[in-house]
Structure 1
Amino acid sequence: MKLDNYIYKKAALGIGLALTIAITPSCKKSFLDVPQQGQQQSAVFWKTADDAFKGVNAIYGNLRSWENTAFPAIAIENMGSDDADKGSTASDASFFLQFDQFTIDPDQGNISGFWSGQYRNINYTNQVLDNVPAIKMDESLKARYLAEAKFVRALSYFRLVRAFGAVPLRTTVPTDVSQYKIPRSSVAEVYAQIEKDLNEAAAVLPATYGSADVGRATKGAALTLHAKVAMYLKKWSDVLSYTNTVMGLGYSLLPNYEQVFRLANENSSESIFEIQCALVPGNADVSNSQYSQVQGVRGITGGGWGFNVPSADLAASYETGDPRRDATIIFRGETTPEGDKIPEIGDNPMYNQKSYVPFALFVPNYNEGAQQNVRIFRYSDVLLMNAEAANELGNTSQALSSLEQVRFRARQGNTSILPKVTTTDKTALRLAIWKERRSELAMENDRYFDVIRQGRGTEVFGPKGWKAGRNEVWPVPQTEIDISGGLITQNPGY
C-alpha cells in the first residue's frame, strides 16, 4: 500500500505559493492507497473527486515527514523539557544541546525546519480548502474532506503558536507575488482561527470510520485538539465540555499501558489521532518515517540513532512501583517485554520505549521502525484534561474520578502502588494532576509546553538556563525574517 505524497513547489517554505503538484511515493494504510503517477500541473488538477481524494491524502502523507516527526519536532517540542536529554554520542548532533540549555539562536536549522514543516502542512490544507469546493462530487464526502483539512490546519497552527507565539496566519494559497509577504498575526488571532477551524471540523467529521479509512481525522480528534487549545487559553468550561463529549464517544483505555505503543495496538480504542506510518515490502522509498529510527537504541541492528533519550530526572520522577516508568524507558541491560536484550554498555543509559519497534522486525535497507505510528492524542490525555478542568471549576468529585481512571489502568490491579488521590484541596489536586500528566504522557511532546502554560518555567527549567520573558517561545527563524524583508519580526530576547 502507498500514499502519493503531493509536494508543492514554493518560493519560501513559510509563505510559499503552490504552483505544481509533483507526485512522489510515500507509505500508508489502505485509505491512502492511490496509484503512482507522474507530475501533474495544478491547471489540470483539482477537477475531479479523485483529485480531491488525492489532495486530502497528501495532507496525511506529509504529517510523517522529517520536519513533523524527527529532529525538528524533537528539538522544538521535547528537548527543552526536563524529560529528555540529547542522547547518541557526545559529538553527534551537538546542536540539540542548544535547545536543551536554551542557548539557541534564530539561525539554527531545526528552528526553520519545524516552521517550514508546519507551513507545508498548512499549504497542503489550503490547497484543498481553496480548490475542492468547486469540484462536482458527492457533497457529504466533499464536506468531510474539507473538515479533515481544517483539522490538520488547526493542528499545525497549534504547534506553531505554542512554539513561536505570534505567527503569520495564512488561510488561502497566495495567487501572486504581492501576497507572499505578510506579518505575524497576534496570538489571539491565531487561536481564534484554530478554534474556528475546529468548530467547523467537529460539526462534520464522523465519530468513526470503516476499516478502509481508519486513521483519518474524527470528531473525537477535533474535539480533543479543541480541548487542548482551550486548556492553553484557560477556558476551563470549554475544556470540560469538549472532554465530556469525547468521553461519551466510545473511547477506552487499554488494560496494559506498555502495549498502547506497540504495533499490534495502533489505532486502538485508546487512540484518538495517530500519524499513520507503514513498512511497505519491496519499496523502501515509500517506507519513509524516521520517527522511531532517530530515537531507537543505538548500536544494535534494528535499533536506531539514539537521540531524544529519557532523562535521569524523568526516571526519578515516577512514584515507587509505577509500571509506566519501565513502559516509557528502555534501560541499558534490560530485556524488553518483546524479548530484546539491551547491552549492559552503550552510549546512553536509557532510550525512549514509546518509539520502540522490536529489533526482529527490522528489514535491511529500510528505516528502523518505519512501521511505527506516532501517537498524537490518546484518551488518557482527555481524562487528565477533564480532571484539570473539573478541578479548576470546583467539581472535585469529577476531577478525582477522571484522574482515578488513569491511575487505575496504570496500577494494573496492583493495589499496593499508585493509591487513589483523595485530596479535595484545589491546589493539592492541581499539583497531583500535573504530576500525573508527566507520568502518563512522558516523551509525547507535551511536558515542555505543559510546564510553561502552568507558569512554572523558571521553577522547573531554570536550572537548565530557561529565562522568563524570553524562553516562553522559541526564536522565529532568521531566514523567514530575511525573506519577508523585516515584515516578520523576532521574538524578544533573541
Structure 2
Amino acid sequence: MKKNLLYILIAALTIVIISSCKKQLDITPEGAPSKGNFWKTSTDAVKGANSMYELYDDENFYGRGFFWFINASDDMITGRVKAQGDNVRDFNSAYIGGDYTEGQWKMRYATIKRANDVIRYVPSIDMDATLKKRLIGEAYFTSGYMYFQLASNYGNAKAGVPIVTRTNMDDPNPTPRAANVNLNYDYLISELQQAANYLPYFDQLGAADYGRPHKVAAWAVLSKAFLYKKDYPNAEKYADSVINFGKRDLMPNFADVFKAPNNWGPEYIWSAVSTPAGAGGWGSILPGVMLENKGWGKYNGWGYYVPTKELYDSYQPGDIRREATILKPGDHFMFFGADNVYASVNSLSGFQFRKYMDPFSFADPVGKHISPNGDHPTTDLNLPLLRFAEVLLIKAEAAIMQRGAGAGDTELNRIRVRAKLAAASGMTLADLKRERRSELAGEWADRHRDMVRWGDAAAAYAQPAHGFSGATVWPARKFNPQVHDVWAVPQKEIDNSGGVIKQNAGW
C-alpha cells in the first residue's frame, strides 16, 4: 500500500520518489532487506536506512503502548477503564502478555537489527561518501536510542538487557541478558558517540531530510543517558555541547512549542515525525489518544492518560505552563474552529491534557491537521521526544548533583522566566524536580522514570490520586523499589529464548 506524506518522513521502508514542489513521498513497503540480494547500491543503502523508522508508525511504538509505562506516574491516570493498562499502572503482574506493552521489547530489537545491518553493510557500498556517512550515523543513533529505552525500562543493577551487536547478531542462539544495566549504558553511549561523529548538524540537512537524526540530537540523548547512569560530569558535558552550540534555544512562548508550524523550531531536538496525510495518517497517535473519548461527537478521541489534581496543584501561582498543559472544567479552547468551554463527558479525573490540542483547533481539520482515520489519530504535530528545555533541565540537575544548591540556577531561570515566573537563586534539587514536572508534564520525558531514579516513587504512589472535584479517582498503589524499578520482561521473549532470557526479579 502506498502512502503520500506531506513531509518527507524518515520512517519509511523504501527509497522514495520526491515529487515537484511539495516534496511529497510515495512509499512502497518492501519488507526487511536481506544480505543475498541487497546491500549492493546507494539505493539499497537508503532503503535499508529508511527501514529503521518503519515502526514509528506502529500505534504502540510512540502512541499508546509505550505510554502505558509513563502513565504509571503521579501526573496522570487512565482516563477510562482499561483493564490491561490499569494493571500496568498498578504494577500488577497481570499486565504481562498484554498486547500494548508485550511488543515494546521486540519492536526495539527489530529496529536495532536493522540499524546493525546498515552499520555492517553500508560501508562497503560504492556510493556518495557524504550520504554514506550520514546513513551510518543514523544507524548508530538508532541503535543507541533504542538501547537507551530498553535499558531504562527493563534493566537495573541486577540484570541489564541483551546486547545484540554486529558481531553476535547472526548467532542462532538467544543472547542472554547483560550482567547489569551499566553495561548497557556503556554500550549505548559508545553507539551514540559514534553517531555524533558521523551525523551532520540539523542545519546541514535539506528540508527533505528534516526528521532524520543529527549531531545535536546525539549529544542530547548522550546527556540524558549519562544522567540516568548517574555520571553527572558527562551529563553536564553533553548538555553543554547542546546549549553552547547556540543553534538550539527555547521558543519565546511555551504553548507555541506544541504547534505544527514549529515542528522544526529552535526547541526541536528529536521528535516522532507525524502527518495526517493519506487515508490513515502516519506516525504518533498520542494527540488523539489523549483527546476526549469520542471527541464530543466530532472525532474519535480515545480518552486515555488524563491529568491528576496533584499535577494541576503542583504548579506555582502565575505559571503559564499550567493552563497551556491542562484543560479543566470551564476553560475555553478552540475545537474544530469553534470556541468551546471544556466539560468532559467521560474523563475519570475531569481534566484533559491540552498540550497536543492545537491540530484539533482548526475549522475542518480532518485530512489537513488530523488523520481522516480516527482509529489511527495522527496529526501534523511532531511529538517531542527530547527538546531543548529538557536539555537545560538535564544540565541543571547534573550541576546540582555535583555542586549543590544554586549550581543549576542559570538553566532553571531560563525556563522559569519563559513560564512568567520570577527568577530565583540557590535553587535545590527539589526546585529542579518541580520545574521538570511543570515543564515536561504529559511528554515522553517520562515522569515515572524520573520518580524511580530519584527514589520518590514509593512515597508518591502510596497516596491516592484525585480529580478536579477533589474526589479520589485512583487508589493508593504499592510500589516496591526492589521490584518495580523496572518493568517485566515480556513473557514471549522469555519463552522464545527457551529460558535463556530471565524475568526481572519479583515479577
Q: Which residue of structure 1 lines up, in the alignment, with residue 491 of structure 2?
A: 478
Q: Which residue of structure 1 lines up, in the alignment, with residue 356 of structure 2?
A: 355
Shift of 1:290: 2.1
In structure 1, the residue corresponding to 2:479 is in which secondary structure? coil
Contact 2:10 2:53 (C-alpha < 8 Å) held by counterparts: no
Q: Which residue of structure 1 lines up, in the alignment, with residue 210 of structure 2?
A: 214
Instruction: Supply the distance in 2 between the matched residues of 1:458 and 1:242 (Cα, whole angstroms).
Output: 31
The answer to whether 1:493 aligns with 2:506 is yes
The answer to whether 1:431 aligns with 2:440 is no
1:82 is matched with which residue: 74, 90, 102? 74
Question: Which residue identity does 2:45 align to in structure 1?
Answer: A
Contact 2:12 2:53 (C-alpha < 8 Å) held by counterparts: no
Task: Give the TM-score, by structure 1 length.
Answer: 0.86
Q: Bigger shift: 205-214 or 438-447?
A: 205-214
Q: How does 1:191-206 map to 2 (within 5 A)?
A: 191-206=185-200
CA RMSD of aligned residues (A): 2.6
Instruction: Supply the distance in 2 between the matched residues of 1:437 and 1:175 (Cα, whole angstroms).
Output: 38
Shift of 1:38: 5.3
Contact 2:189 2:222 (C-alpha < 8 Å) held by counterparts: yes
Instruction: Supply the distance in 1 between the matched residues of 2:244 and 2:301 (Cα, whole angstroms).
Output: 39
Shift of 1:117: 2.2
The answer to whether 1:44 aligns with 2:37 is yes
The answer to whether 1:58 aligns with 2:48 is no
Contact 2:328 2:352 (C-alpha < 8 Å) held by counterparts: yes
Aligned residues: 460
Cα displacement string for residues 339-389 of structure 1 (whole angstroms, at most 9, x for unaligned residues): 552553410112222232225412444643432211011111111111111
Q: How does 1:158-177 map to 2 (within 5 A)?
A: 158-165=148-155, 166-172=160-166
Instruction: Supply the distance in 1 between the matched residues of 2:415 and 2:248 (Cα, whole angstroms).
Output: 13
Change in 2 beyond 3 A, CA 1:175/1:259 = closer
Identity of aligned residues (%): 30
Change in 2 beyond 3 A, CA 1:467/1:30 = farther
Shift of 1:204: 2.1
Question: Which residue identity does 2:497 align to in structure 1?
Answer: S
Question: Which residue identity does 1:435 align to in structure 2?
Answer: R
Contact 1:274 1:377 (C-alpha < 8 Å) held by counterparts: yes
The answer to whether 1:392 aligns with 2:385 is no
Q: How does 1:364-379 map to 2 (within 5 A)?
A: 364-365=372-373, 367-379=376-388
1:100 is matched with which residue: 60, 71, 89? 89
Cα displacement string for residues 302-326 of structure 1 (whole angstroms, at most 9, x for unaligned residues): 3611111112211111112211111
Q: Which runs of 5+ in 1 are unaligned?
A: 8-21, 412-417
Question: Which residue identity does 2:286 align to in structure 1?
Answer: Y
Change in 2 beyond 3 A, CA 1:275/1:421 = same
Instruction: Supply the distance in 2 between the matched residues of 1:30 and 1:45 (Cα, whole angstroms).
Output: 30
Q: Which residue of structure 1 lines up, in the alignment, with residue 469 of structure 2?
A: none
The answer to whether 1:139 aligns with 2:146 is no
Change in 2 beyond 3 A, CA 1:242/1:466 = same
Q: Bigger shift: 323-332 or 35-44?
A: 35-44
Shift of 1:39: 6.1
Shift of 1:476: 0.7
Question: Which residue identity does 1:371 align to in structure 2?
Answer: D
Q: Which residue of structure 2 lines up, in the alignment, with residue 443 of structure 1?
A: 442
Contact 1:207 1:219 (C-alpha < 8 Å) held by counterparts: yes
Instruction: Supply the distance in 1 between the matched residues of 2:50 and 2:481 (Cα, whole angstroms).
Output: 41
Q: Which residue of structure 2 lines up, in the alignment, with residue 19 of structure 1?
A: none
Cα displacement string for residues 252-301 of structure 1 (whole angstroms, at most 9, x for unaligned residues): 11111111111121121011111111122xx2145354222222122321
Change in 2 beyond 3 A, CA 1:343/1:337 = closer
Question: Which residue identity does 1:155 align to in structure 2?
Answer: Y
Change in 2 beyond 3 A, CA 1:235/1:5 = closer
The answer to whether 1:71 aligns with 2:64 is yes
Q: Which residue of structure 2 lines up, in the alignment, with residue 316 of structure 1?
A: 313
Instruction: Supply the distance in 1 between the matched residues of 2:63 and 2:167 (Cα, whole angstroms).
Output: 26
Q: Which residue of structure 2 lines up, in the alignment, with residue 382 of structure 1?
A: 391
Change in 2 beyond 3 A, CA 1:324/1:303 = farther
Cα displacement string for residues 67-108 of structure 1 (whole angstroms, at most 9, x for unaligned residues): 2112211112x11100111013x3xx2211112211134333
Q: Which residue of structure 2 lines up, in the alignment, with residue 271 of structure 1?
A: 268
Contact 1:148 1:205 (C-alpha < 8 Å) held by counterparts: yes
Contact 1:67 1:117 (C-alpha < 8 Å) held by counterparts: no
Q: Which runs of 5+ in 2 are unaligned?
A: 464-476
Instruction: Supply the distance in 2 between the matched residues of 1:315 and 1:31 (Cα, whole angstroms).
Output: 42
Contact 2:416 2:423 (C-alpha < 8 Å) held by counterparts: yes
Contact 1:147 1:202 (C-alpha < 8 Å) held by counterparts: yes
The answer to whether 1:293 aligns with 2:288 is yes
Q: How does 1:178-189 map to 2 (within 5 A)?
A: 178-185=171-178, 186-189=180-183
Instruction: Supply the distance in 1 between the matched residues of 2:438 and 2:259 (Cα, whole angstroms).
Output: 18
Contact 2:137 2:194 (C-alpha < 8 Å) held by counterparts: yes
In structure 1, the residue corresponding to 2:403 is in which secondary structure? coil
In structure 2, the residue corresponding to 1:490 is in which secondary structure? coil
Instruction: Supply the distance in 1 between the matched residues of 2:54 and 2:139 (Cα, whole angstroms).
Output: 13
Q: Which residue of structure 1 lines up, in the alignment, with residue 456 of structure 2?
A: 456
Contact 1:324 1:410 (C-alpha < 8 Å) held by counterparts: yes
Q: Which residue of structure 2 lines up, in the alignment, with residue 16 of structure 1?
A: none
Instruction: Supply the distance in 1 between the matched residues of 2:209 and 2:33 (Cα, whole angstroms).
Output: 27
Change in 2 beyond 3 A, CA 1:144/1:288 = closer
Task: Give the TM-score, by structure 2 length.
Answer: 0.84
Q: Bigger shift: 477-486 or 94-103?
A: 94-103
Change in 2 beyond 3 A, CA 1:398/1:34 = farther
